[in-house]
């Protein structure tokens, strides 16, 4: 069996790898696999490290039966009849990835999407989400500190660097520890009190962001307490306030009582109620899974009708980064070299970078790449456990004959170029019947 790891080419910041050299060495030694690795100048682990692990370095991957990656593949680089495993970003019908999916179909490829490797309760088993949360929290508060400086407000958050500027997770955490000490001793500038920080969502991404946030002195309050006691919090200068929003907080039934299962299955019966909270938040971190069947958290219409909100809601960290999605003013994705833009609702304009006036939005769409080494290592350890099951199957067999564990079979988007039953709905986004 010959497998390959392709080099990432989405952008110069994407330094992650699905399998680290140590785990490549394990596969070669214990299973006898031949592993081809495309050379890369930007990958966090060097070509030499892979070569020392026993991999073969070469650009041509045509010899491999199964090709692993991290991010999307340019259509012109897809090889026929291969099994590809990567984050495809097609299950929402993402328009920009439909040409790639069409090419995979035309070339009779198999596609396994990491995002759909889930257990029978629908919980993802392999993900970078925690690291997106880590980096998203740091990027957001780095920008927040920069914005406050532009407003003439000295603040401890201006000491926060961008995630990629730290040597790793521990270094970033130590930085937050130092800021926590400053807040306990000197407090938060009164111009931004109370410093309320909302987390929309409670999954892996949110957990990662909260893990970093929790290093700072804070008190967690409920969404109801935010509304009822906001004015009583204004004298609290030595701590931040954390509010975690679940579905029952963000939406309401158009008529009748909230029911979580119904909301998931019939979101058309619900509308957003998140605007109730926006006047009371300074910083919002969006960590929700969103598709266009769900109500938005922040709409452009609301901001245009209430432009004064931009004087209190200063910063949105859109970690989920769905273009014009849950945060409608996320009109584009950004990269670490220019991670933010600012929306001014008074003038209905977008301006690149952090600005003094308006709501600044952090919208980096591949945040885990800013902690590439740790993110890759943890991801690789999980993927390593799945590979023997994947490689023990002959994908030329009929789909029903594939003897795969539930999580892997669930993740097969394409089999021999055809959408599998669960994903046939994606055909609607391809613009043609097949």
Closest CA to 376 of 40, 1, 97: 40
Tally of CB atoms within 10 A around 232: 10
Rounded mean pLDDT, 77-104: 96
| pLDDT tens-digit readout, 42-51 | 999 999 999 9
CA dist 78 and 103 (Å) reads 7
User: Which residues, listed in sequence order, are joined to residue 241 by a DSSP beta bridge?
Assistant: 196, 219
Q: Residue 38 pLDDT > 50, yes or no?
A: yes
Rounded mean pLDDT, 18-32: 97
Q: Residue 355 pLDDT > 90, yes or no?
A: yes
Q: CB–CB of 127/203 below 8 Å?
A: no
| Token pair in block for residue 364 | 């980096």
Compute the C-alpha angle 21/370/42, nearest 5°. 50
Peptide bond into 194 cis (omega under 30): yes
Q: CB–CB of 109/295 below 8 Å?
A: no
Q: Residue 433 pLDDT > 70, yes or no?
A: no
Q: pTM (2 decimals)?
A: 0.90
Domains in the chain and their CATH numbers? Answer: 2-127+372-424 (3.40.50.720), 129-370 (3.40.50.720)
Q: What is the band of 331 on the pLDDT scale with cuts at 50, 70, 90?
A: very high
Specify the pLDDT at position 40.
98
| pLDDT tens-digit readout, 122-174 | 888 998 889 999 999 999 999 999 999 999 999 999 999 999 999 999 999 99
Specify the pLDDT at position 177.
98
Specify the pLDDT at position 161.
98
Specify the pLDDT at position 279.
97
Specify the pLDDT at position 393.
87
Specify the pLDDT at position 68.
98
CA dist 172 and 373 (Å) reads 14
Specify the pLDDT at position 432.
54
Q: What is the band of 431 on the pLDDT scale with cuts at 50, 70, 90?
A: confident
| pLDDT tens-digit readout, 280-321 | 999 999 999 898 899 999 999 999 999 999 999 999 999 999
Rounded mean pLDDT, 248-275: 96
Specify the pLDDT at position 371.
96
Specify the pLDDT at position 248.
96
Looking at per-residue pLDDT, the higher value among 291 and 18 belongs to 18
| pLDDT tens-digit readout, 222-238 | 999 999 999 999 999 99
Label residue 273 exposed, middle or buried (CB < 10 Å: 0-12, 13-18, 19+): middle
Rounded mean pLDDT, 338-348: 98
- DSSP letters, 138-179, are HHHHHHHHHHHHHTT---GGGGPPPGGGSSSHHHHHHHHHHH
Average per-residue pLDDT for the chain: 96
Specify the pLDDT at position 350.
98
């Amino acid at each position: 069996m010959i497998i390959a790891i392709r080099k990432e080419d989405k952008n110069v910041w994407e330094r992650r790898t699905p399998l680290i050299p140590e785990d490549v060495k394990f596969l070669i030694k214990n299973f006898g696999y031949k592993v081809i690795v495309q050379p890369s100048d930007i990958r966090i682990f060097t070509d030499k490290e892979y070569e020392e692990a026993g991999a073969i370095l070469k650009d041509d991957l045509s010899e491999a039966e199964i090709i692993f990656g991290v991010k999307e593949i340019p259509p012109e680089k897809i090889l026929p009849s291969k099994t590809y495993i990567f984050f495809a970003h097609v299950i929402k019908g993402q328009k920009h990835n439909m040409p790639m999916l069409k090419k995979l179909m035309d070339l009779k490829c198999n596609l396994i999407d990491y995002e759909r490797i889930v257990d029978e309760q629908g919980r993802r088993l392999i993900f970078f989400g925690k690291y997106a949360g880590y980096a998203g929290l740091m990027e957001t508060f780095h920008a927040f500190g920069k914005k406050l400086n532009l407003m003439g407000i000295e603040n401890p958050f201006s000491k926060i660097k961008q995630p990629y500027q730290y040597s790793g997770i521990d270094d970033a955490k130590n930085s937050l520890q130092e800021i926590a000490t400053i807040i306990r001793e000197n407090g938060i500038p009164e111009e931004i009190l109370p410093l309320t920080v909302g987390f929309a969502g409670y999954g892996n991404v949110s957990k990662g962001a909260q893990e970093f946030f929790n290093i700072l002195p804070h008190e967690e309050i409920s969404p109801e307490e935010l509304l009822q006691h906001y004015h009583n919090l204004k004298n609290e200068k030595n701590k931040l306030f954390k509010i975690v929003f679940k579905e029952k907080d963000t939406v309401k039934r158009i008529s009748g009582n909230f029911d979580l299962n119904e909301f998931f299955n019939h979101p058309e019966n619900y509308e957003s109620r998140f605007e109730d909270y926006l006047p009371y938040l300074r910083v919002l971190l969006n960590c929700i899974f969103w598709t266009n069947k769900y109500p938005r958290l922040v709409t452009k219409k609301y901001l245009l009708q209430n432009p004064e909100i931009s004087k209190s809601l200063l910063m949105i960290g859109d970690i989920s980064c769905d273009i014009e999605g849950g945060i409608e003013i996320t009109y584009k994705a950004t990269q670490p070299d220019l991670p933010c833009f600012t929306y001014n609702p008074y003038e209905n304009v977008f301006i690149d970078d952090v600005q003094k006036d308006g709501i600044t939005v952090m919208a980096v769409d591949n945040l885990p790449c800013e902690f590439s080494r740790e993110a890759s290592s943890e991801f690789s350890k999980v993927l390593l456990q799945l590979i023997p099951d994947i490689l023990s199957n002959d994908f030329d067999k009929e789909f029903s004959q594939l003897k795969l564990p539930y999580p892997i079979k669930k993740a097969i988007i394409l089999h021999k170029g055809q959408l599998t039953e669960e994903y046939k709905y994606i055909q609607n986004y391809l613009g043609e019947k097949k």
